A and B are shown apart, each in its own frame.
Chain A
Amino acid sequence: MIFLMSFRRFGLACGIIALTLLSPGHASPRRPLLDDLPRLVLWAWERPEDLRHLHPGVGVAFLAQTVAISGGQFTVHPRLQPLRVQAATPLMAVTRIETGSSVPGVLSADAIDEIALLIARTATLPRVRGVQIDFDAASSERGFYRALIHQARRRLNPAAPLSITALASWCLGGDWLEGLPIDEAVPMLFRMGPVNAPFQRLATSPSSASSTCRGAVGTSLDEPLAAGVRGGRVYVFNAKPWTQTTLLQAYHLVQ
């Protein structure tokens, strides 16, 4: 009997560990609004964009602001260009974080909370369904980024999806995304250089990525990947303003 009890306890412990390890994002509740976002989302970056003629089933993730962190302080640069979209176009507001060569680890908890608040505020812009953070965090910046993501999650409406862009290596080469309260990590499979080209296999073979990275992928029009075959959401970057021709190219990527 004693053997039975201890075996039960051991089994229970193992079960808890297994469920913890296998659950994507460690118990981050899935937000239905993320599922509402379309399969194809275009990034609208730091330039005037007129996307009023977009197909109905296409979304736009627009750069809403850039937070530049340097020397323990941060400055905010909001979007300075117009974005023209139809009323029905689903939108995602992107906050880009830039750190230059400084280490943001010296930012105070209050400053991190202020940045989190700025991110959360973009969710209140008209027709915005979710927010995305774009930060190519170096290894030394991950502690700060982790704290920021947790704080942004707290500041956001619980129903609002939180997406982050991800270096492809985060999706293959480490566990640091695990446990983050995010709904989606988008591996950006462009501007990688020939050395890192092998990471592009994530585009067609999402099963090789960590669970958080399997739902979406980021590609670009000038380095297109056959991302459509993998299923899931495809974000497309264009280095130039969107035109009718480039929109058709983007649609083609998910066909």
Chain B
Amino acid sequence: MKSDLLRANRWFSAAVVAGAMVAGGFTAWLLACGPFSDSFETFVTFEPAHRADFGRGQLSVVSPQYARRYLVQAYRVFSGQPPLPNAALTTSELHADGTTDAPLQEWTAACRRVLGDADLGFDPFRRLPEYQQFWNCTDDGFRTALRTLEARVRQFGASSAEVRGWTGAQVAVFRNCSEEMLVLPEPAAPSAHPIIRADREYQTAAAYFYAMQYEEAGRRFRAIAEDRSSPWRPYGRYLAARANIRLATVAAENRPASRSFADAEADLHATLDDPEASPLHRPAQALLDFIAVRVRPVERVHALSKILSTSATVSNQQLIDYRVLLDRLVDDDQARNRPALTEGDDLTDWVLAMQQGAGDFPHIEQRWEASHSIPWLVAALWHLPAGHPAGGSIVDAARSVEKTSAAFPTIAFLLVRNLSAGARRNDARALLATLPAKAAPGFLPDAVNLLNAERAMLARTLDELLTSAPRTIVQRQTIDRQGLPPDGRDYNQPALGEDAAVVFTSRLPLDRLVDAVRSDVLPARLRLRVAAAAFVRAVVLERDESARQAARILRELAPALQTDLERYLTAAGADDRHRAAVYLLARTPGLRADVPGGEDERSYEAAEPARKLDYVFHVNWWCGSEITRFPDTAWMEWLYPQRVVPYPEFLSNAERAAVDREVTALVGIGPARAYLAAEAIKWAKAKPDDLNAAETLARIVDGWRRSCADAEPPRWELSREAFQTLHRLFPQSEWAKRTRYWYK
């Protein structure tokens, strides 16, 4: 009995221990996962990568996909106007209005100094139906109250009945900020000081205003405006205007908004005409602009356009209004309102034409012919269709632009692009030869990256391709806060251009790839990337001599692979070498048949091909489709609009045929995991005593679900066969014991 109890308890405990181990393993799996990976950009198409320089008028290459305020800046600077520093602000910086709770808190504190710990209970926001609120009591109201309180304290004394009475009345006024029912201040006694009586009239009108009784508030404010004895007289028409604006925008009343806005405009003009109301002239003008945006949006666009294109300075609000109005008035296809928006408005016309694209070229050409201005030349160059009869004159005009022009980097980039597209590749090369290959005055790193992409496109030798392949990282884009500039760290390791990576992956034959890594033109980290692909490709295509050449270079560049590469290089014959290569591949999930372009957080930090499986992103070996994929990199289509990267000019016909054969073979082989599984099974069957074969089988089975496959069907039966082969041929091996499951 005792023995049974003991056994039962042992079983129970063993089960619990097993459960704890499973849970622990699950937790360990969770902890082993990594964070998001940020992408590192060499050119950004939607915003300037060098924002501070852009604010100073150094525009680099202006993208037609820039947000509109950046295009406004480009138009100004192209037109010879001084740059606007605030046009380079981020969206959140542009909208930051410096609003804080400070005026509200200061008012609350001042009030408590007068009234003690009275309950002031109010909220500056007032609820409306349908889950909506609005900012009813704004900072200006609290500031005015504070100023008035200070003045009355100076006049009557902090503990006077007048000050206590005034403060109590103002507390009542502010209760209307959020209270549903109207709260009116106590009327002033007829015997009260005239200023206190005037204050109370004003406070009462304000109470109606905050309680959303705008018509009554407006009537009372206008009465104050008529009272020559009231210190509040200059405020009367201004506040009546505000009541009318609220009537039009907040209140759900039957009065037409247009009538309220018209009344408000009359009050605001009266304020502007009143010299005693001069402190209110600026806010009155701002309210007139506010009304214009709502009542006469197209007219307001033109007014803003004039300010934005000619004024020495513009406000953030003007930039915001221009953006918001165009967002509202312009459809994605720009059909709506376009004629009205662009007639007689060169800036808006240009901004919309830049964004519209090649479909708008007839209009762009017409504007260029009519103006011969730099902005329209840039637009014409961006959207010039290949072979267009106007191309010659536009290119000639572009060639005459001074190097000192702020538009020169954009024009130079586009000239090269257009010359090469128009079969004037030598002219394009000659122009490129005069342009900087490294950052130089006027040519910021992102512009140089684009020029180097053009150099790669026009390369006449392998060396030229290798020289132009590395690029400079100009922006780190984070997952949750996109588009931040580099975070203070120097990302000064070179990145491989996505365009050059396509050439290495699918446009160079293996022999040229080996030549590329035998040369030391590429920086070491990029050379390593190409060498790894050359080795993998040679192994997979069973090109023994090329594989050995690549392996020798790889051995120098990747010390972590040295032992495995040594085993490969010293293997007795081609078969053993091939097995050693398969073994190395299985042990190195960072090895790929393609050459990845661009950089992200992971690739940037990786000094050598990863030797462990990537459990988070599942980027292990290669999927298959990378070999022929055109990257989703926006600027790539500027140079390759058909989304095809052609063969480098320096390849012979025979070499081009060789590339085709190799790429077809690589695509036919499919994803790495299927290839490695098949090779490992073959190896194990041929060498059933070779424990390295067991390890290879085990690693492939483990990596199967951690790696990708684009080919259909998924061929999971290879995973099962690898598992079964491992357990059948190496049942006692450590690798078989470790490998308890196979995966689809």
Contacts and interface: CB of A to CB of B under 8 A. Distances in A.
Interface of A: 4, 7-8, 10-12, 14-15, 17-18, 21-22, 62, 64, 73, 75-76, 78-84, 100, 125, 136, 138-139, 167-169, 172-175, 191-196, 198-199, 201, 210
Contacts of B129: 82
B26 A82 contact: no
Interface stretch (B28-36, B359-367, B376-384, B570-578): B28-36
B13 A174 contact: no
B490 interface: no
Interface string B2-45: 00011001101100110110111011001101111111000000
Interface stretch (B63-71, B342-350, B445-453, B613-621): B613-621
A198 B33 contact: no
A17 B27 CA distance: 12
22 contacts: A7-B10, A18-B19, A18-B22, A21-B23, A21-B26, A21-B27, A22-B19, A22-B22, A75-B101, A76-B125, A80-B134, A82-B128, A82-B129, A82-B132, A167-B36, A168-B36, A174-B35, A175-B31, A192-B479, A193-B39, A193-B482, A195-B600
B333 interface: no
A19 to B, nearest CB: 8
A83 B130 contact: yes
Contacts of A136: 480-481
B100 interface: yes
A7 B6 CA distance: 10
Given A83-B131, A167-B480, A173 B34 contact: yes
B712 interface: no
A169 B101 contact: no
B477 interface: yes
A136 B33 CA distance: 19
Closest 9 CB pairs of A and B: A11-B13, A21-B23, A173-B33, A136-B480, A78-B133, A82-B130, A18-B19, A18-B20, A14-B20
B99 interface: yes
A193 B477 contact: yes
Interface string B117-144: 0000000010011111111000000000
B20 A198 contact: no
Contacts of B253: none
B632 interface: yes
B600 A75 contact: no
A15 B16 contact: yes
Nearest to B24: A21
Given A8-B13, A11-B9, A80 B132 contact: yes
B480 A11 contact: no
A200 B467 CA distance: 37
B37 A195 contact: yes
B17 A175 contact: no
B619 A198 contact: yes
Interface residues of B, number: 49
Given A173-B35, A174-B33, A84 B130 contact: yes
Contacts of B404: none
B92 interface: yes
A11 B5 CA distance: 15
A17 B20 contact: yes
B324 to A, nearest CB: 12
A172 B617 CA distance: 10
Given A18-B16, A210-B30, A196 B37 contact: yes
A194 B633 CA distance: 10
A78 B132 CA distance: 8
A239 to B, nearest CB: 12
B132 A196 contact: no
A9 to B, nearest CB: 10
Given A78-B125, A195-B37, A196-B479, 13 more contacts: A11-B9, A11-B12, A11-B16, A18-B22, A18-B23, A73-B100, A75-B99, A125-B131, A136-B480, A175-B31, A192-B36, A195-B600, A198-B616
A174 B12 CA distance: 31
Nearest to A70: B100
A82 B131 contact: yes
B27 A175 contact: yes
Contacts of B632: 194
B26 A138 contact: no
A226 B481 CA distance: 26
B72 to A, nearest CB: 23
A193 B479 contact: yes
Contacts of B479: 167, 169, 192-193, 196
A61 to B, nearest CB: 12
A160 to B, nearest CB: 17
A206 to B, nearest CB: 14
A14 B13 contact: yes
A195 B5 CA distance: 57
Contacts of A138: 480
Given A78-B133, A168-B36, A193-B477, A175 B30 contact: yes
B133 A174 contact: no
A159 B272 CA distance: 57
A68 B19 CA distance: 44
A4 B38 CA distance: 54
B121 to A, nearest CB: 14
A167 B601 CA distance: 17
A42 to B, nearest CB: 14
B92 to A, nearest CB: 7
Contacts of B31: 174-175
A8 B101 CA distance: 60
Contacts of A175: 27, 30-31
A4 B9 contact: yes
A173 B133 contact: no
A73 B19 contact: no
Interface in B181-234: none
Contacts of A64: 131
B616 A172 contact: yes
A15 B19 contact: yes
Nearest to A136: B480
Contacts of B480: 136, 138, 167
Given A73-B101, A195-B39, A196-B37, A79 B132 contact: yes
A194 B31 CA distance: 24
A62 B36 CA distance: 27
B9 to A, nearest CB: 6
Given A15-B20, A198-B617, A7 B13 contact: yes
A78 B618 CA distance: 41
Q: Taking each of A14, A79, A192, A198, which has the highest tally of chain B beta carbons within 10 Å of its own beta carbon?
A: A14
Contacts of B22: 18, 22
B13 A17 contact: no
A109 B258 CA distance: 49
B19 to A, nearest CB: 4
Given A10-B13, A81-B132, A173-B33, A195 B100 contact: no
Contacts of B13: 7-8, 10-11, 14
Nearest to B105: A73
Contacts of B135: 80
B133 A80 contact: yes
B17 A14 contact: yes
B616 A173 contact: yes
A237 B35 CA distance: 24
Given A172-B33, A173-B616, A210-B30, A11 B17 contact: yes
A138 B92 CA distance: 18
Contacts of A18: 16, 19-20, 22-23
Contact of A62 (B38, B99, B131): B131
A239 B668 CA distance: 41
A73 B101 CA distance: 9
Contacts of B601: 195
A162 B110 CA distance: 39
Interface in B447-479: 477, 479
A167 B37 CA distance: 12
Nearest to A15: B16
B315 to A, nearest CB: 21
Contact of B131 (A11, A79, A167, A172): A79
